[in-house]
Structure 1
Amino acid sequence: MAHHLVLGAGGVGRSTTTHLVARGDTVTLASRSGVVRDRPWETVPGGTEAVDVVAVDAADAEAITRLARGAASIVNAVNPPSYATWDRDWPPVAAAVLTAAEHSGAGLVTVGNLYVYGEVDAPMREDSPMSTTGHKGQIRARMWQDALAAHEAGRVRATELRGSDYFGPLATPRTSWLNELVLQVAKGRVFLPVGRATAPHSWTYQDDVGALAATLATDDRSWGQVWHVPTVAPRTMQEAAADIADLLGRPTPRVRVLPRPIGTALGTVVPFLREMRETRHQFERPYVLDSSHTESTFGLAPTPWDVALKETVAALAR
């Protein structure tokens, strides 16, 4: 039995905690508030006793180090509340967590994303260049570069996992385009602020993120590398809407998208649309994740699309 520190009690943090508990390990789950109402790990035998939920400031290196003492790993599943403040919020958190890993001896598993690759014209692999020119992508790229440098210097053991846009019962419409799509299809209309309805797009089931994070935290083959979360074949927005409508027993709506010039103009007054300028290419052209290296190395497979979507729709339709 090993002990782990999971930072962030969003969907990924809770999923990771559940998978670690299912392995027989114990977890300290730390969040800003220390309040977690939905606790899926309690469905695992012994899960209630295996998890200690605490409040912590993820930018407080001393506090994180104290929590990490005796832990086999730190899983950084923190999600700053606003895109607009990433440049303010992420650097101190990344520095604090890296310091805690170095001082405690715990391995560092960071939940990253695909922003680091920028605009792509081929499926993204772990060895794809981090060629982003966007501000948010550069912040995430520096986080991995700093962690990898510390790993190569022998100061820490570090790894990072990257998935595409999340969906699932524990995701929220605020952070999940596909969950938002479920809600819109249920209302009989679909209107999206960016993208093309016919562009193939990879969707990563959030529980598969947690499963991989737990695997990386407990497998020494993980260190010093990036791993892509097992992800099913891409689906366009229109295809996803049709699949959702079929599960809901509703007619398939036509997905309407806000024209790019209008979205750009609205971005001058709507902060969310302004921040989307950097990432809207992800929905305007094929955006495909290749997770074959992870799957073959660890013997993992993504949750089948029909199963994952059915669970998501059922959760949101409650």
Structure 2
Amino acid sequence: MTGSDPLRLYRTVRLIRRFEERAIELVRAGEIVGGIHPYLGQEGIAAGVCAALDREDLVTGTHRGHGHVLAKGADPARMLAELCGRVTGLNRGRGGSMHAADFGVGVLGAVAEEGGAVNEGMLLEAFNLAALWRVPVLFVCENNGYATTMPVEGAVAGTIAGRATAFGMPAAAVDGQDPEAVREVTAAAVARMRAGGGPELIEARTYRFDAHHTFEHQVRLDYRPPEEVAEGRSRDPVDIAGARLDPAARAEVDAAVEAELDAAVEFALAGPHPDPATALDHLYASGLTARTGGG
């Protein structure tokens, strides 16, 4: 775990922001099939949380998980190749946007289950076992105000923190738009857990700047008032982190990130697609190949 490093935090949020914007361009170009769930606006959470972790710490993400993978240290070029379905990707093009993993940096992969998140029974079961066994796991709720198109107020009874405290778990809320604030609260929680304190919950309050899914770019769903979107965008984690840097240092980071992503796009598009004949390979950890055919 490291202390505060404004330059590192800014680089991470800037990398995630520009990675997502490049990915959206590739969706529109037809290079990323099926679209993505953009992480725009929520970058400060992944950056802040992962800045408080060690390389050996393990993380798992969600359907909106590109930022988690990048913040933990995965190669942006191989991550982008994964989104483009190329064999040069992190998972040979088989994980895609919602299931990318990189064991080398402690990313176990994303779990794309949706449907209410904090209201799902599996989460409450996880809370129960983690608290009962005092497992050192940090649950991070990225509360962007919506369950797809449903406002949280219309789907969540009680409070998010209350779900954790009901199991005897400490819970804290933090401004998810401020990467440093997220890093601080995460560092404190991680220190307690390393000392045997058991699981904790952080509710990071944030705002999703873009669509729930890029499919919305085509259908133009109308469920968020323009003034709400404008207010949400007024607190941009990239600007909040960037304001803590000297302008020259910020410009240098921006240029470096741009160059890195130029190379990442080139690498991703140069990679071959998987051979359809190998579609059933890598289904089992043992190496066993699945068989086809009737009987």
The two structures have a TM-score, normalised by structure 2, of 0.37
Asked which structure has the greater RCO (Cα within 8 Å, sep 6+), the reply is 2
The two structures have a TM-score, normalised by structure 1, of 0.35
